[in-house]
Amino acid sequence: MIIRSGSCLCEKVRYKVKSDPIRIGLCHCMDCRKESGSVFATFGIWPAHAFEASGEVRYYEGRGFCVNCGARIFSEPAEDEVEIRVGTLDMAPTDIQPTYELWVKRREDWLSPLDGAEQFEEDRI
């Protein structure tokens, strides 16, 4: 079983996830752009039962942030899934790749679609 760990920038919030991700994606929506300070965000969806975290997290519209350094780490765990920002993993996840992109209508013109990834104009649904 794969056990991945991660943290916020100051490492006061730590987490572990004990499984492979359900899916990995890129999002170009305005919310992800604003919260990441970049032109897209990379996230993974993991089973909620495989996730555990420690440290003080404050939530804004379901998005979890460290109260000390302000880093966005993961979403508020739902009944069956948790969304984790891939960049917060301790080790680069070289064994997983995004399989889809969201909100591609907002993707920068100079940024090419990810080869082999399913493209969604807005959300997956």
Mind listing the domains of the chain with CATH numbers?
4-119 (3.90.1590.10)
Residue 118 burial class via C-beta count within 10 angstroms: exposed 0-12, middle 13-18, buried 19 and up: middle
Query: How confident is the model over 50-103, as pLDDT tens digits?
Result: 999 999 999 999 999 999 999 999 999 888 999 999 999 999 888 889 999 999
Phi, psi (rounded to 5 degrees) for 19: 180, 175
Query: How confident is the model over 10-34, as pLDDT tens digits?
Result: 999 999 999 999 999 999 999 999 9
Average pLDDT in the 38-53 region? 96
Which three-class secondary structure state does DSSP give residue 86?
helix
Is the whole-model pTM more than 0.95?
no
Average pLDDT in the 107-114 region? 96
The DSSP annotation for 18-60 comes to: -S--SEEEEE-SHHHHHHHTSS-EEEEEEEGGGEEEES-EEEE
pLDDT at 99: 96
pLDDT at 92: 85
What are the residues facing 63 on neighbouring strands? 60, 75
